Structures are given as structure tokens and as C-alpha cells.
Structure 1
Amino acid sequence: MWGRELFSIVFFAVLVLLVAIHILGSADVVRAFQQGLEHRLTVESKEAWLGGVPLGDVSSYVVPRNASPYESLHSEGKVKAVVIVARHCDRAPQNYAPAYATGTRRRPYKPFPFDKTKWDVDYGELTALGMYQCYRFGRFLHERYVQGHPNDRLLRARYNHEETHVRATDVDRTLVSAAAVMHGLYPAASNPSHQRRHRYSKKQYHIPGGFQYVPIHTRLYGDDRLLDGSGKGRCQLWDIVSKKMLKSDFVYGELQRRSDLYAALPSLANVSVEAFQSMKKKKKLALAATLRDIRICQKSHSIPAPATVSRFDADLEVLTARLNGAKWDASGLGPLVGGRLLRSISTRLATAIEADNGNVQVLARAKDECNRKGHDGDEIGNCYRKLVYYSGHDTTIFDIRAALGVTAIEDGIAPYASHVIFELRRTGPEENDFRVSVYAGHYDQKPRPLFGPFCDGNFSCTASSFFSWVLNTVPNNVSEACIRTERAPDILRRALGNVAKEDNAFQSGHKAVREQSASGGAFSRQFARVLIIGTIGFILVLSAPIVFRLRRTSIRSEYAAV
């Protein structure tokens, strides 16, 4: 009987302990939920400044998770022209980083202490991985526009200068990226000498492997306002506003609030504390952004870093997202920094419509004027080409996305091979039966529809609607709009007000959830401790008489046996 009583007590005790463990586990779940919510709030806050508009006004422009895939528009007509704006692919870290703070470093050209990697190329150059990424993107374009669905076939298998035009910034990594993409689009054995001999010669001239060379146009980087619209000195109004935004509490204040990262920056960058403290705010932010750049490059190549470095990865991601979001999203100046490129793209698509409708002048200019001494009207966009490929930088992607009125932020920075594709399709026999569709993707994600105000919240609309939106959004004279620096205070006031409201909402919600979960978690843990201690005491009190009686019975049995 006493054995059954002891068993009941033990069973009850185990049950109580399981309840206590469950409560402790629930507290952990609360903490996990808090962390998940913190992540979600961080992600959502990135969407909060589209063109200087609060989040609630632009939610319809966020791409839904179940967006139609890129391959789904065959039924809407035959593609007639494509313009692609893309970032270069994987590269090594830049300029013995940090390029922006070298003046305060003891040894300006010494790599960061934790960057001991012997890169296969020099700093800032395209890596073998980057060449492969761009080649694969070119293969995707080949499979779609050369070998794809009949409604998608746009190009001949062999390069033709009247069909394809390529331009890159005057930087090695963008030029090589463009070449790699073209090698994928026009692979080996597609060059003219490999396909046929000259009619008057028995000789066949070809490079081993049949490599197809494609001309890549460029301009001096200092003069390239088309693909580097947000570069320093391109737009005075942008320079003033973005500089003030970086100094704001929303951006620089975030760096200071992440005190561990702020304190570690000097040692991470091999800069003395005194030199770091004397830096201007912009240089400190540039230092942190360059650290993030190195970490991205290292992770792309599975290069390990000490825990003292990798522990700041999450901080650097959030800081970079704020930095880019403040400059491109909050300012609302996308039509200035990306306006030239967007207007040129719009004109190119309109020119393609004229050509497809048989405009003799447009077709003649494409064969004569547009091929004369490399002139292709990139800034104007009035030369007819079936496919135009622009190879630029992450800032090029930020510029064009901001001009389109959608968030420039993609995971804090545009991933390698990020691209925006503009597709023109003919939907009927009438002169105006054309649609423009916009897509976005990167090296690890096929293009998906990009929803935005340019198509009234959709990703596809009539060409006339798209052209009208661009006409009403981009200033007639971007250069003149850029020198109107007297507008800077009003733009700053609006931008800082928007980010402050969003940031306060985020911080208030985050604090409330944190306090609620912390108080709830603390109560749960305290209750569980009391429950466990009480259970142990309960077991001792109830089991003591039983143990005593069992002991007495055992002694009597021993005497009886004697």
C-alpha cells in the first residue's frame, strides 16, 4: 500500500515538473516571437519611405509573395523590345577598404585586419564567381529571347549591332560583367566566321572556340550622368539632402545606439580611437558600410571571419538598410537621380513602337545615324534597338528603382546582378496596342513582377499609360531641377518627418512588445521557479512519513528473520 502511495506522489511530482518546464519553454517561445517580430518590424520599416510617403500609402506597391512568374505573359502578345538595367556581379572588396576614410588610417593601403584573403583578383575587380553569375544571367536571356516561347523570341542567334546595344560605366567590373552577360547571350560558335565562309574566299577565319565579340560602349565615369545619376556632383540638390539625411538621428544616431559596433569600429578598421573620434559623421558611416561590404564579399566565397567580427553582421545590415533607405527612399528625389535613365528608357520603348509600326525615318536612323562613330543616343534614347543592356552599380539600381517610385532597398543593398527589366509587347493590330511590363530580380532570383505607381500599382500597363506617368514624374530639365538647392530645407523637413514617424512607430511598438514579453516572461519564469521549489518541498513533506514507515517495516523484518 505504501509503495502505491509513493508511486502516486512521484507521479504527481513529475506532472508538476512537466508543467513548470512547459511554462519556462513558453517564456522562451515569447522571446523567440519577440525576436521574430523584431525582424519583421525591421523588414517592414525598410518599406516605410517610398518616395517620402508613409508606409500605409504605398503598401499596394510591395510585391506579393504569390506574384506571377516572369514566364507567364506569353498570351499578352509578342515582345518587341527589352531594356535591362543591371548591377555588376560578384567582386572582391573595394580599394583596400575603406576607400572613404584612408586619410585617417596609419597605413592607407593595408587591408582590414580580418581581411587576410588572397583574392583571385585585385580589390574591386570582378571575381571568377562574378563572371559565372553574369554568364548564367546571359544564358537566361538567351533561353528567353533567342530560344524561348515564340512570343518571347526577339533576337537572332547571332549578334547583330542593329538589334543589341550594350553600355557600361567606365569601371572594370561593369565592363567585364557586360562582356560575361553577352557571352551567355551569344555563346561560342555564334560568331560570323564560324557560321560561314566568305563568298570569295576558301579560307575560314575564326578564333578557336568561335567566341563572339560584342561591342560595349562607355563614357568617362566623371561624365556619366545616365548610369551614375546619384554620384557626387551630379545633382547638387541630391548631394545636400542626402548628406543631411546621413547626419540625422535616423542614420548616424542608429550607429551610435549600436554602442558595441561603434566602440569596435576603430579596432576593426585598424584606426586609432583618436583618429576615429575626429572623423566626420559621414566618414564613420562610410567606414561601417565598407566593413559590411567586406563581410558580403567574404560570405559570398565562404571565407570565415573571427567571431569578434561576424557578431556585428546583423548590426551592419540594419545600418546599411537605414543608410540606403534614408538617401533613396526618404528623400523622394528618385526622379532626379534616376530620371535621366528612366526617361531614356521610356523614349527607347516609344521608338521601338514607331519602328514596329513601320516608321521609315526611325528605321533609317537605326541603320545610318545610330551606327555612325558609335553614336547610339543613350541619353536621348531615340535609336531603335531590340535589346539594350545597361551595366552599372548598386547605386544604378537604387536610382532607377527610386525613379520608378518603389523602394530602393533590397536586403539593405542590391544583391549582385540585381536587375530591372522593361519589356514591350504588342497586344493587337492597332498602332497603340502595346504594353510595358517591369520585372526585377538578381543572381539568385529569377525576374519577378515589380509593382509600382508607374502602372497604377500594377507591374504591367498600356505603353501610353507608362509613358504618361514618366512624362509627369521626371522633370523636363533634370539639370535645372538639380540646382534648385533652395528646395532642400522643405525636402529635408518632409523626409525627416516621415522617417521620424515611422521610426517612432517602430520603436514604440518594439518597446511595447519587448516590455510586455519581458514582463510576461519574467512572471512566467518566477512562477515556474516557485512551482518547482514548492513541488520539491511537497515531495519531501509527503514522502518523509512513507520512508519512515518503510524503514520501520524493514527493521522489523530483519529482527523477525533473526
Structure 2
Amino acid sequence: MASTVPYFFPVWRHGDRSPTTTFRADPFQEDSWTFGGGGWGQLSPLGMSQHLKLGKMIRNRYVDTGNSTYNFLPSIYDQKTMHVRSTGLNRTLVSAMSNMLGMYGQDGNGNRAGTDYPEESGWPRGFVPIPVHTVDYATDHIGNMDSDCPRREWLWNLAQQSDEVTNWRNSANVSSVIDKLTSLVNETWDLENFWVVPDALFIEQIYFNKSLQEKNSWFNQVFYNQIVDVNDQIYMFQYGIFDNPVKMQNMDIGLELLKVRSGPLMNDIVGRIKTKSDCAFGKQTTGCDWINPLKYFVYSAHDETVYAVLVALGIERFAIIPHGYPLYSAAVSIEYWRNSTDNSDYFKLVYHKEAGDGFNVMTSEINGCNGDYCSMDVLEQVANKLRTELPAEEWCLVTQGSLLTKKLGFVLVLVFSLVVFR
């Protein structure tokens, strides 16, 4: 397919890191982690390397070189063609920097001393610093799926009261795992914070495996796998993935959870594509000077951010099997294409599952899509379904009994009255 306005959006997870926290009885506390500046949640040299390699792979696929597939990004960094957006944490910011180093910071990429970087002793030859933009982490509803959002917490509390989640939580297999873990670490676990233990143990097996076996007497692979299985199911519930629709308080809880988690990101991507298309064909003038030359918009974020895209498109199973969540440096990319024959918009979905893996086109796995390219209508329908009724920062305040809920109810009644009695 020929494209006249190539544009693509990778959403990636940061690389390997230290745990972000751990359980109180863990022999490996914060002072055990010294890389990346030390402490919780810091990107490791391995994580930096993972994104350096991913950046090189992206360059090989998309940059205008003899080896690339598409030849639409320039071989030398051009600030008009790309925008890198990261959540406001060290590990995502440094992952983005490492990735850009792989794409545009290598000696031999054609970068020019004195033009693209200073010709000074001590400056790494070929290194071009590329800006990484960020926003406040707590209010980043696009990149941070754990942003401050009372509505998400309210919906999750409702979900936990549903028959499906309650029956699962009280089942013999699940309750035995949670009760056993509680007893072993002398710490009570609810579904909200259960992830802490498997996350810490996963990383400790990478860095302290021998010591872990010696210092943590209850750790064994069988029990660890049981903990992971429980955590994977919690993860699915939190994104509104249920065996059957959960209807509570006149709401589809699964849909509402997905709207607050995936909706802002999916609508941000689709909105940018629509603006790009409108500007390219004269339907819009505002903002076109910035977006017309733009070809590459990055979201450097987290496993939950990548998962949000996969769940929205109904292909989360590719993260769940054999793992319950996207792994380090996993990246899902939406490529926007315009067919120069029929002037219609299409998209292609490309997935990089983990470090060391390649790029796999997954478009045909999406419901309503056949082949590598799919009508943009399908993506727009997904975004529309997940669009929040108000901007995310306002919609997150809408909970049962909130003042905003009452105002919304008043508006709906007023609209109904105007329609009925006009």
C-alpha cells in the first residue's frame, strides 16, 4: 500500500528495572539496589541496553537507510519529524533517552560534528541529544494507568463486589495462595497491592537468584508460579476483562474500567491521526504547521500502558500468553497509512513482544480487520467506544455521590425535559 502521510505511534514499556517496592519481610530492601542511581524503580544498565537495541531496530525499520523497510524517517535527527513523550519517572525517561541514542546517537549515522553535536573533547562522538517531553506523573491519564483517578478506584471497588470476582477470590485455589502468602510474609494482601510480591520476586530472580534461594526460605518456583497466576487474573479484572458482562448500578463495569484506563490514550492517538489527515488534505488549518512534518510520536511508558492498547483492541491474549503482562521494552506501534489509490485511511498494528524479539504485524488479529492493513474506521470505533463523557481529568472525579455526578444528572434531566416538552 502506498502512503502519502506516513505517521506512526509506538507505545513502549521501559526496560529492566529494580523493584518499585517490596514486602516488609523481603531480605532485599531498597539498599540492595544500587544501579541507575540507586533505589526503587530505577532503570538498570540491562534496561538501557534493551532500549538502545530497540532504538537501533526502529532505525533499521523506519529510518531512511539502505536497510530500512519504509524509508520515511530522516537518517539525521530532524526535530520537526518527531516528538517523544514520556511519563514523569526516571525509568521511562531514561528508556526514551536510551532508545533515541540507538536511533540517532551512534557514530556512523551521518551525524555532523559542529552541526548535530559539539566538536569538543569529552563529548561522545556521534551522540545527538534528543529532547524527551513529560508531564506530571500523578495527573498523566494518557501514559500512567495508575494516575490519580477516584472514578477508577470506585469502579474497581464495585468490580470486586461482583459475583465473578468474589467467587474467584473465594475459590479454594486462589484463597489458599493468598492466605499462604499472608502467613509466610506476615502481611495482609488485598487484590490492589498483590502485585508487589510477584514483581519483586521476578526481579530478584534476575539479580539475586542464588541468594534468594538461600535467604528466602519459603521461595520455590511452584509457589511463585501460583502467585503469578493469581496476579495475572487480577490484572485482567482491573482492565475490565470478565468472563461475562458485569452490570452494576446501571453500568457495564468492564467497559467503564476500560474507558478510564485505555480511553484517554486511544483517543489521543486517534485524535492525532485525524488531525494529521485533515491537515494533509486541507480540512484543517489550526496546528497544521506543527503536525504536517511530524511523522513519529512516541509514548515511553509502562507495561500497563502497552496493555491498555492491547486490551482496547481485543488482543491482550498476546501479552497474557505466556506472560500476564507486557515484558521489558515491549512495544505496540500503530502505523497510519493513506492509500494513494482510493485516498482512504488505514492503520497497521505492529508488536514487539520483548527484548530480543522482532516486529510482528498483528493487524489481522483485531476484530473487523483482515490482512496487514485495516480501515481507520475500526480504530475510530474503538476510540469512540472508549471516549470518556468529559475530559479525563474531570471524568476521573465522577463517582457515586460526587458533586459532578449530581451536576451531570441535572444536565441529563434538563436535556430530557427540553426534548420531551419542546
Q: Cα gap change, 1:113/1:441 in structure 2, threshold over 3 Å: closer, same or farther?
A: same
Cα-to-partner distance string for 1:248-297 (whole Å, 9 max, x where unaligned): 42553358745266224343x3x3xxxx4xx4xxx444554211001211
Instruction: Write the letter of the residue equivalent to 2:359.
Output: P
Task: State which of 245, 254, 266 in structure 1 corresponds to 2:159.
Answer: 245
1:403 aligns with 2:312: yes
1:292 aligns with 2:198: yes
Q: Cα gap change, 1:117/1:425 in structure 2, threshold over 3 Å: closer, same or farther?
A: same
Cα-to-partner distance string for 1:468-516 (whole Å, 9 max, x where unaligned): 44335424535465555459xxxxxxxxxxxxxxxxxxxxxxxxxxxxx
Task: State which of 249, 253, 265 in structure 2 corresponds to 1:341.
Answer: 265
Cα-to-partner distance string for 1:37-80 (whole Å, 9 max, x where unaligned): xxxxxxxxxxxxxxxxxxxxxxxxxxxxxxxxxxxxxx565771
Instruction: Write the letter of the residue equivalent to 1:231.
Output: D
CA distance in 1, matches of 2:9, 2:2: 18
User: Counterpart of 2:225?
Assistant: 314
User: Counterpart of 1:470?
Assistant: 383
Instruction: Write the letter of the residue equivalent to 2:275.
Output: T
Task: State which of 151, 171, 181 in structure 1 corresponds to 2:99.
Answer: 181
Deviation at 1:176, TM superposition (A): 0.6
Q: Cα gap change, 1:187/1:317 in structure 2, threshold over 3 Å: closer, same or farther?
A: same
CA distance in 2, matches of 1:219, 1:405: 28
Mapping of residues 507-518 of structure 1, within 5 Å: none
Cα-Cα RMSD: 3.4
User: Counterpart of 1:523?
Assistant: none
Deviation at 1:241, TM superposition (A): 2.2
Instruction: Write the letter of the residue equivalent to 1:347.
Output: G
CA distance in 1, matches of 2:378, 2:124: 49
3-state SS of paired residue (2:218): helix
Contact 1:84 1:389 (C-alpha < 8 Å) held by counterparts: yes
Instruction: Normalising by structure 1, report the TM-score.
Output: 0.58
Instruction: Normalising by structure 2, report the TM-score.
Output: 0.75
3-state SS of paired residue (1:85): strand
User: Counterpart of 2:127?
Assistant: 211
Contact 1:76 1:427 (C-alpha < 8 Å) held by counterparts: yes
Uncovered stretches (5+) of structure 2, i.e. residues with no partner = 243-253, 402-422
Contact 1:131 1:180 (C-alpha < 8 Å) held by counterparts: yes
Contact 1:191 1:212 (C-alpha < 8 Å) held by counterparts: no
1:165 aligns with 2:80: no
Mapping of residues 53-68 of structure 1, within 5 Å: none
User: Counterpart of 1:139?
Assistant: 56
What is the aligned length?
Answer: 367
User: Counterpart of 2:410?
Assistant: none
3-state SS of paired residue (1:389): strand
Contact 1:336 1:403 (C-alpha < 8 Å) held by counterparts: no
CA distance in 1, matches of 2:226, 2:108: 48
Task: State which of 330, 350, 364 in structure 2 corresponds to 1:418.
Answer: 330
Deviation at 1:197, TM superposition (A): 4.4
CA distance in 2, matches of 1:179, 1:128: 13
Contact 2:84 2:297 (C-alpha < 8 Å) held by counterparts: yes
Quick check: which one's helix share is greater? Answer: 1
Deviation at 1:139, TM superposition (A): 0.8
Whichever of the two has the greater Rg, that structure is 1
Contact 2:62 2:73 (C-alpha < 8 Å) held by counterparts: yes
CA distance in 1, matches of 2:174, 2:284: 63
Contact 2:314 2:367 (C-alpha < 8 Å) held by counterparts: no
Cα-to-partner distance string for 1:436-485 (whole Å, 9 max, x where unaligned): 01122332432323358966154631234433443354245354655554
Mapping of residues 94-493 of structure 1, within 5 Å: 94-95=20-21, 97-98=22-23, 112-113=26-27, 118-121=32-35, 122-146=39-63, 147=65, 152-189=70-107, 195=112, 197=114, 204-205=119-120, 207-228=123-144, 230-231=145-146, 233-234=148-149, 236=151, 238-246=152-160, 248-250=165-167, 252-253=169-170, 257-259=174-176, 262-267=179-184, 269=185, 271=186, 276=187, 279=188, 283-285=189-191, 288-301=194-207, 303-304=209-210, 305-306=212-213, 308-310=218-220, 311-328=222-239, 329-330=241-242, 331-332=254-255, 333-357=257-281, 361=285, 365-366=289-290, 385-407=294-316, 410=320, 411-430=323-342, 432-444=343-355, 445-451=357-363, 456-458=368-370, 460-479=373-392, 482=396, 485=399
Higher RCO by CA contacts (8 Å cutoff, separation 6 or greater): 1
Contact 1:418 1:442 (C-alpha < 8 Å) held by counterparts: yes
User: Counterpart of 1:93?
Assistant: 19
Identity %: 21
Q: Cα gap change, 1:261/1:385 in structure 2, threshold over 3 Å: closer, same or farther?
A: same
Q: Cα gap change, 1:486/1:318 in structure 2, threshold over 3 Å: closer, same or farther?
A: same
Uncovered stretches (5+) of structure 1, i.e. residues with no partner = 1-74, 99-104, 106-110, 367-381, 488-562
